[in-house]
Amino acid sequence: MDNSTIVCKCEEINIDEIETAIKMGANQFDDIKRLTRCGMGPCQAKTCMNLVRELISKATGRSPDEIAYPQKRMPIKVTRMSALAANQKSMNIVSVFKEAVTEMDSP
Amino acid sequence: MKKFYDVVIIGSGVVGSSIAYHLSEKRNKEILVMDKGFPLSGTSGSTQAWVWVHNKVPSWYGQLSMYSAELYPFLKKKIGDVEYKRTGGIAPFFDENDRLHALRLAEKQAEVGIEMKVLDREEVLEKEPNLSPDIVGATYSKIDGNVNPFRLVELFIKAARKNGVEFSFYNTIIGIEKTSGLFKISTLNGESYLADKVIIASGPWTKEVGKLLGIHIPVKLVRGQVIVTEPVAPLIRNTIAGVRQADNGEVLVGYSKENVGYDRRTTLDVIQETAKMAINYIPKLANANVVRCFSGIRVIPEDGFPIIGEIPSINNAYVAVMHSGITLSPLTGTLMTELINEGEASLDLSKLNLGRFEKTKSTTVF
């Protein structure tokens, strides 16, 4: 593992970029995120959060417990805009009553 | 770290770091910027970062915004590529009755030199074919655009550091005392610093920092929530009031205002409304994937306008606080530098002085 090893796959951020941000003075995940985009992609830091916390811990000499987790925000996973807007009729929601009466009427 | 400084700036957001950079250009002062967090951990890192002019009212405020927007191309030359793009700005309306208001606005803005047009539906769709055909018109100006706030603040700080400015992060100030003409600033970790001048550039924490100096700075907090999509093919070219597309293809949507204090949670109700707005403006966004949301606390002076200048009751203390810090940061840095180096600024700052709130207070009392 050298400094070009990718830490954040979504945004292709490597160890070197994380260490540069730490050298600028950042010592929390979210502060590094805003400088590097690490953790901003589709997985929302699920892959990189502990890798980055470890790098911060190593560089600053603080215990990993002291390094905060990234802020969790909705949506937890990638979600279609129309679903968020809730203006879509879902074909999979059915009425129990209608289901019963249709079955009863069918030969 | 040195313990005496000519100037201590409290806050390293877009306003504080711009002042630090501009003030350091002459390299004639020892400057320290202090922050209780890290740059971009507050408002400057949770914004759509429009550089927005054309519908700022009254027109003197629009003019101020225009002057600042005009400084951006040169700033980019000086501190590096902050990804400033003068895309043009479109503020759509959906009600034919709004056209009259739009025309009146255009007339007012023309008086101070802001060039804006009122477009009809066809003109809007010609500029932005992906906007909704339900739009009946829009106001438009070439002067509007956007910037990458992360790059902007980072490069302000890099340039300031190159000019000798010192920065101290994760360092909370708990007391400011004025003794024998100097400010003594004490911090939570037991350090203290002496300063000839202090500048409050503390955004949403302005009121608290003001209290340390024994003064009241009337500002309020407003939460704004924003949706970010996955990168998509170019969808819009202009900055739309409420929506912009970043260089990497992500679309940012949101224009909400809630009075909830310093609460930075994102909430499902506002996010759903924002998703609806996205689709109302740009129907194709219905099929875009939302990757994340964020929320930011904006600071707004009680009367809506920037407070920039000397603090009347305390010699050598200054304040710079405003809602549109991204738009106004190049101008604010320039004006504060003039004020500190020459004792006066090239624009009349009397409308922006903190003292204006005192006047209204005394008229209501008597």
**Binding-site residues on chain A for chain B (CB distance < 8 A):** 24-28, 30-31, 34-35, 40-42, 44, 71, 73-75, 78-82, 84-87
Q: Are B308 and B351 in contact (CB under 8 A)?
A: no
Question: How far apart, in whole angstroms, are the C-alpha atoms of residue B272 and residue B134?
Answer: 20
Q: Residue range A54-77: average pLDDT?
A: 94
Q: How far is CA A9 from CA A41, B229, B329, in A?
A: 8, 18, 34
pLDDT of A97: 83
Taking the CA of residue B247 and the nearest CA in chain A, the distance in Å comes to 13
What pLDDT sits at residue B364?
42
Measured from the Cβ of residue B252, the count of other Cβ atoms closer than 10 Å reads 21
* Distance, CA of B13 to CA of B326 (rounded, Å): 10
Q: How many CB atoms lie within 10 A of CB A51?
A: 16
Peptide bond into A75 cis (omega under 30): yes
- The per-residue pLDDT for B2 is 55
Query: Over pLDDT 70: what percentage of chain B?
Result: 97
Say whether residue B82 is in contact with chain A using an 8 A CB cutoff: no
Which two tokens mark B261?
């204090």
Q: Which of B41, B268, B278 is nearest residue A31 as measured by Cβ atoms?
A: B41
Q: How many CB pairs under 8 A join A and B?
A: 85
Which one, of A69, A22, A104, lies nearest residue B170 by Cα?
A22
- Sign of the dihedral defined by the CA atoms of residues B304, B305, B308, B309, in that order: negative
For residue A90, pLDDT over 70 is answered with no
Q: What is the pLDDT of residue A107?
A: 66
Is the pLDDT at A99 greater than 90, yes or no? Answer: no
Residue A98 pLDDT > 90:
no
Nearest CA-CA distance, residue B230 and chain A, Å: 7
- What H or E segment, with its residue span, contains residue B7? strand B4-10
| pLDDT interval class at A102 (50, 70, 90) | confident
pLDDT, residue B359, reads 67
Interface contact B313, partner A, CB < 8 A: no
Q: Taking the CA atoms of chain B, what radius of gyration do you get in angstroms?
A: 21
pLDDT the model gives residue B363: 45
Residue ranges of B 151-190 with Cβ closer than 8 A to chain A: 154, 157, 167, 169-170
Sign of CA dihedral B72, B73, B75, B79: positive
Predicted confidence (pLDDT) per residue in B199-257, tens digit = 999 999 999 999 999 999 999 999 999 999 999 999 999 999 999 999 999 999 999 99
Q: What distance in Å separates residue A23's CA from the closest CA in chain B? A: 12
| The model's pTM | 0.94
- Which residues in chain B land under pLDDT 70? 1-2, 359-366
8 Å CB contact of B230 and A42: yes
Residue whose pair of structure tokens reads 């500048």 in the numeric block: B199
Tell me the pLDDT tens digit for each residue of B329-340.
999 999 999 999
Closest CA to B308 of B70, B22, B50: B22
What is the predicted pLDDT for the residue at B99? 97
Of B38, B167, B272, which is closest to A84 when you measure between CB atoms?
Answer: B272
With both helix axes pointing from N to C terminus, report the angle between B98-111 and B59-79 in degrees, rounded to the nearest 10: 70
- Token pair 């902007």 is found at B152
Cα dihedral B182, B187, B191, B192 in deg (nearest 10): 0
Please state, in angstroms and rounded to a whole number, the distance separating the CA atoms of residues B162 and B258. Answer: 39
Neighbour-count burial of B245, counting CB atoms closer than 10 A to its CB (0-12 exposed, 13-18 middle, 19+ buried): buried
DSSP 8-state assignment for residue A68: P
Q: What is the mean pLDDT of residues A42-70?
A: 95
- 8-state DSSP, B221: E
Structure tokens at B312: 């009347």
Given a contact cutoff of 8 angstroms between Cβ atoms, the answer to whether B130 and B282 are in contact is yes
**Number of residues that make up chain B:** 366
Quote the ipTM score: 0.90
Q: Residues A88-107, buried b or exposed e (16+ Cβ, 10 A)?
A: eeeeeeeeeeeeeeeeeeee
The answer to whether A79 touches B290, Cβ cutoff 8 Å, is yes
Instruction: Find residue B33's DSSP bridge partners.
Output: B9, B167
Which of B250, B291, B294 should one mutate to test binding to chain A, selecting the residue with the greatest count of A CBs within 10 A?
Answer: B291
CA A52 to the chain's CA centroid: 13
